[in-house]
């Protein structure tokens, strides 16, 4: 059941950018620079040299490793120029990417991870099983994903329009706290969106959609009063909720989409597919924020219980 969000501290003191020096990861680094300047953050740039998986003689293997290390170090030095005066530190590790990310995450008290995600040969398999997907799924802190349709030109110094998309099933809505904090910091417009997925609208939906709007309103914490512009609440019906979220983002010119994710839940595989599709298609950055492990009571169950109570009252009255 949707409920008031519990205030959390939104910190962006340390930002980790995982890079493989691809165009996507370079765009991600470019996009996070304005955010780092806004919050006086330190950027930690991490590159991981992964095992090459080729059987070589010890001497050949050593030579290849040294060459890979020198090339990676050279590319990291080039990123110094790109980052400029923003406080930053570079990290060069060897091994599995997630293990290296997790190590820096803990040692440097990282508040946000930034990844650039690219499209593979099949769009439906976008970043599933890839490094970006692993980070989004495993990271305990928020992850800012910069998809293939986001250009560095679009990553300006301001976030004029934010979109918080929720399915109202989460126990916690920490993503909304981040959206509100960013909206306050940037004096942004904020839209809260819930899309009811069904074939077509029905006349009987009017009352139910009104209930959903009230739930959206109920999600807003007290700090929402500090927003410079009153947030807009929208509940819509669509056959494909993912497609509609992307359409709304385009319609309002969103600079950032914020979503809650709960990877541990058995139903989360479907949600991860939606998140990956949104990241793969969005023209703006996508911020995913991990929620609590416990799944909230479903709205359907709540409505059913309410209907039972109403029936009992009617029976007693008669």
pLDDT of residue 160: 95
CB distance 175 to 260 below 8 Å: yes
Range with lowest mean pLDDT among 118-122, 177-181, 311-315: 311-315
Q: Can you name the residues that pair with 161 across neighbouring β-strands? A: 189
Can you read off the two tokens belonging to residue 82? Answer: 């790109």
Give the least confident one: 20-34, 252-266, 303-317.
303-317
**Does residue 257 contact residue 161 with C-beta atoms inside 8 Å?**
no
pLDDT digits (tens, 9 = 90+) for 152-188: 877 878 899 999 999 887 667 889 999 999 999 999 9
Above 70 in pLDDT, residue 286? Answer: yes
Q: What b-and-e string marks burial along 16-31, b requiring 16 or more CB atoms within 10 Å of the CB?
A: bbbbbeeebbbbbbbb
- Look over the chain and give the mean of its residue pLDDT values, rounded to a whole number: 81
> For 186-199, how does the pLDDT look when each residue is reduced to its tens digit (9 = 90+)?
999 999 999 988 87
pLDDT of 315 above 50: no
Which of 303 and 132 is assigned the larger pLDDT? 132
pLDDT at 297: 38
The mean pLDDT value for 5-25 works out to 83
Is this prediction's pTM over 0.85?
Answer: no
Domains contained in the chain, CATH given: 14-302 (3.40.50.12370)
Q: Angle at which helices 23-39 and 58-83 pack, to 10 degrees? A: 40
Other beta carbons within 10 Å of 116? 27
Distance CA 206, CA 128 (A): 37
| 182 vs 178: CA distance, rounded Å | 6
């Amino acid at each position: 059941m949707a409920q008031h969000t519990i205030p959390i501290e939104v910190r962006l003191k340390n930002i980790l950018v995982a890079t493989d020096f691809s165009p996507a990861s370079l765009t991600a680094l470019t996009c996070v620079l304005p955010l780092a300047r806004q919050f006086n953050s330190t950027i930690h740039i991490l590159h991981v040299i992964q095992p090459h998986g080729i059987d070589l003689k010890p001497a050949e293997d050593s030579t290849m490793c040294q060459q890979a290390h020198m090339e990676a170090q050279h590319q990291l030095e080039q990123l110094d120029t790109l980052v400029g005066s923003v406080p930053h530190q570079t990290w060069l590790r060897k091994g599995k990417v997630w293990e290296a990310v997790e190590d820096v995450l803990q040692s440097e008290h990282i508040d946000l991870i930034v990844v650039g995600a690219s499209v593979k040969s099949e769009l439906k398999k976008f970043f599933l099983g890839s490094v970006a997907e692993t980070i989004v799924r495993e990271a305990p802190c928020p992850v800012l994903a910069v998809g293939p349709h986001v250009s560095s030109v679009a990553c300006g110094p301001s976030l004029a329009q934010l979109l918080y998309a929720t399915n109202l099933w989460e126990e916690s809505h920490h993503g909304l706290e981040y959206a509100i904090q960013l909206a306050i910091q940037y004096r942004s417009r904020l839209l809260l969106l819930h899309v009811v997925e069904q074939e077509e609208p029905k006349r009987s939906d009017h009352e139910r959609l009104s209930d959903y709007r009230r739930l959206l309103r109920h999600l807003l914490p007290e700090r929402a009063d500090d927003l410079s512009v009153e947030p807009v609440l929208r509940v819509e019906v669509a056959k494909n909720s993912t497609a509609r979220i992307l359409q709304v983002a385009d319609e309002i010119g969103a600079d950032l989409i914020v979503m809650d994710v709960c990877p541990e839940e058995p139903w989360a595989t479907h949600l991860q597919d939606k998140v990956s599709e949104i990241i793969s298609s969005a023209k703006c950055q996508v911020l995913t924020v991990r929620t609590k492990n416990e799944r909230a009571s479903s709205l359907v169950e709540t409505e059913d219980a309410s209907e039972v109570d109403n029936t009992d009252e009617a029976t007693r009255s008669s």
